Amino acid sequence: MQPSPSRLVITPSATALNDGARAERMSKLSFGRAFTDHMAVIAYRDGAWQQGEIKAYGPLMLDPSCSSLHYGQAIFEGFKAFAQPDGGVATFRPEANAARFNRSAARLAMPALPPDLFLEAADALIDLERKWVPQQIGESLYMRPLMIATDPFLGVRPASEYLFVLFGSPAGAYFPKGVKPVTVWISEDFVRAAPGGTGEAKCAGNYAASLVAQAQAEQKGCDQVVWLDAVERQYVEEMGGMNLFFVYQQGGRTTIVTPELTGTLLPGITRDSLLQIARDLGYAAEERRLSVAQWRADIASGAMTEVFACGTAAVITPVGHVKANGFELTINHGENGSVTMALREALLGIQHGSVADTHGWMHTVAGK
Ligand code: PLP
Ligand code: COI
């Protein structure tokens, strides 16, 4: 369907940064600290999405009684726009984010946003903010869509009014130390998601509930928390904002393994892409349960040679050390592994347009 331009009115920001100020803001990129000049907002009321607007990035006005502030009717997504060799800009699998956004919305009793409107808003905003798309490999314009309940009412029931917001943030490495192995803490005191809960939705509450476990991980000298299943408390699920992969090398064969989707972990789009890229590179790829005991045994036997985490923001990050109550593991001598780095290079190559996009994952942002 051809996007209808009238669905989003553009009101240019009166305070957009000039070239020099923007270059300064983009000179030392980390993750999530700089924001572009504009944002897209689309309100939902009377059972329908209203005329949207792209306007100056800035604070939102919310009624203090709205249920997103009290009961957490709030979801979000994350995807990236990359500078391409031909001077254009392309986003990585944004339709997959649009689909997951609507699955999260359904789980939180929120209205679906038509995927073509999600994509239209993203393309229109990115097109307007082209100068904010960084040029270096590993850098991107990280796009953050979100939806919150906005109607003024204190009762606990699905709201009838919502706001969709989309903004961009030029991004460098997620971890301040760059592509260096992280140390992870296996959480036994806290769980992230139980069967029937919201683990596979990208809802705000999942992240609020993770913070105390993340703080505990940091107290233990770790960068990130690893979550276990809530029932048996022995199967590895995922990390704070990333999925996990385990690399096996046996008899000349390389296999990557990631925990299967049980409903309690986020079905990562990077995870899904890497299962495919691994097969393209000639590796075997499996989705199955992996217990902590098996993890320890496979490291001890030498069968498991690398572990890495992956996600939109973090791309691929090697895991070098694992800590838990009662034991510690070192993986691949605490160094970046060759399979991890080959997958990272292949993924970034597709995203930056230097490797053929054989699966049709890149979405070119059309110019006006
Ligand atoms: N798991 C969690 C809890 C996340 O927040 C994310 C990030 O979005 C991921 C996994 C990775 O998902 P994706 O690759 O779609 O970014
Ligand atoms: C992402 O990778 O897009 C995420 O949402 C992870 C994290 C920043 C919450």
Percent of the chain with pLDDT over 90: 93
Percent of the chain with pLDDT over 70: 98
Q: Are residues 147 and 215 in the same domain?
A: no
Binned at pLDDT 50, 70 and 90, residue 367 comes out as: confident
pLDDT (tens digit, 9 = 90+) per residue, 68-111?
999 999 999 999 999 999 999 999 999 999 999 999 999 999 99
Task: Please say whether the beta carbons of 187 and 225 come within 8 A.
Answer: yes
- Beta strands 38-45 and 52-56 are antiparallel
Q: Are residues 143 and 232 in the same domain?
A: no
CATH of the domain at 251: 3.20.10.10
| Ligand 2 pocket residue status of 94, Cβ below 6 Å | no
Cα–ligand 2 centroid distance for 98 (angstroms): 15
Q: Whose CA is nearest to atom 10 of ligand 1?
A: 242
| Ligand 2 pocket residue status of 331, Cβ below 6 Å | no
- Give the containing element (helix H, strand E) for 149: strand 140-149
CATH of the domain at 120: 3.30.470.10
Binned at pLDDT 50, 70 and 90, residue 176 comes out as: confident
Nearest to 160 by CA among 67, 77, 69: 67
| Ligand 2 pocket residue status of 285, Cβ below 6 Å | no
| Ligand 1 pocket residue status of 198, Cβ below 6 Å | no
| Ligand 1 pocket residue status of 258, Cβ below 6 Å | no
Task: Please say whether the beta carbons of 243 and 260 come within 8 A.
Answer: no
| Ligand 1 pocket residue status of 320, Cβ below 6 Å | no
What CA–CA distance (Å, rounded) separates 72 from 205? 6
Q: Are residues 11 and 138 in the same domain?
A: yes
Q: Per this entry, what is the length of the chain?
A: 368
Mean pLDDT, to the nearest integer, of 183-207? 97
Q: Are residues 70 and 186 in the same domain?
A: no
Q: Are residues 187 and 303 in the same domain?
A: yes
- Beta strands 74-76 and 140-149 are antiparallel
Cα–ligand 1 centroid distance for 110 (angstroms): 20
Domain end (from 133, 151, 171):
171
pLDDT at 213 over 70: yes
Domain end (from 126, 144, 171):
171
Q: Are residues 25 and 166 in the same domain?
A: yes
| Ligand 1 pocket residue status of 271, Cβ below 6 Å | yes
Q: How many CB atoms lie within 10 A of CB 288?
A: 10
Assess if residue 198 is contained within a domain: yes
Q: In Å, how far are 33, 103, 109, 267, 333 from 112, measured between CA atoms? A: 29, 8, 9, 18, 47
Output the pLDDT for position 5.
52
pLDDT (tens digit, 9 = 90+) per residue, 321-346?
999 999 999 999 999 999 999 999 99
pLDDT at 1 over 50: no
pLDDT (tens digit, 9 = 90+) per residue, 135-163?
998 899 999 999 999 999 999 999 999 99
Mean pLDDT, to the nearest integer, of 260-269? 97
Q: Are residues 237 and 324 in the same domain?
A: yes
CA angle, 94 as apex, 40 and 15 as ends, to 5°?
25
Assess if residue 276 is contained within a domain: yes
Assess if residue 14 is contained within a domain: yes
Characterize 113-138 residue by residue with b for buried, 16 or more Cβ atoms within 10 angstroms of its Cβ, and e for exposed. bebebbbbbbbbbbbbbbebbbeeeb
pLDDT at 39 over 70: yes
Q: Are residues 167 and 190 in the same domain?
A: no
| DSSP letters spanning 66-85 | BHHHHT--EEE--EEEEE-T
Output the pLDDT for position 3.
45
pTM of this structure: 0.96
Assess if residue 177 is contained within a domain: no
Q: How many domains does the chain have?
A: 2
| DSSP letters spanning 199-258 | TTS-BHHHHHTTHHHHHHHHHTT-SEEEEE-TTTS-BEEEESS-EEEEEEEETTEEEEEE
Which of 242, 270, 316 is the best mutation target for the ligand 2 pocket, counting ligand atoms within 8 Å of the beta carbon and taking the most?
Answer: 242
Q: How many CB atoms lie within 10 A of CB 219?
A: 9
CA torsion, ordered 197, 199, 203, 207, to nearest 10 deg: 110
| Ligand 2 pocket residue status of 78, Cβ below 6 Å | yes
Q: Which residues are 52's β-sheet partners?
A: 8
Q: Are residues 275 and 219 in the same domain?
A: yes
Atom number, ligand 1, closest to the C-alpha of residue 272? 14
Query: Token pair of 78, please?
Result: 């994350």
Q: Are residues 37 and 90 in the same domain?
A: yes
Q: Are residues 214 and 147 in the same domain?
A: no
Mean pLDDT, to the nearest integer, of 196-201? 97
Atom number, ligand 1, closest to the C-alpha of residue 97? 15
Assess if residue 75 is contained within a domain: yes
Task: Please say whether the beta carbons of 153 and 65 come within 8 A.
Answer: yes
Domain end (from 142, 171, 200):
171
Output the pLDDT for position 6.
64
Q: Are residues 167 and 186 in the same domain?
A: no
pLDDT at 225 over 70: yes
Residue span of the structural domain in which 236 resides: 182-352
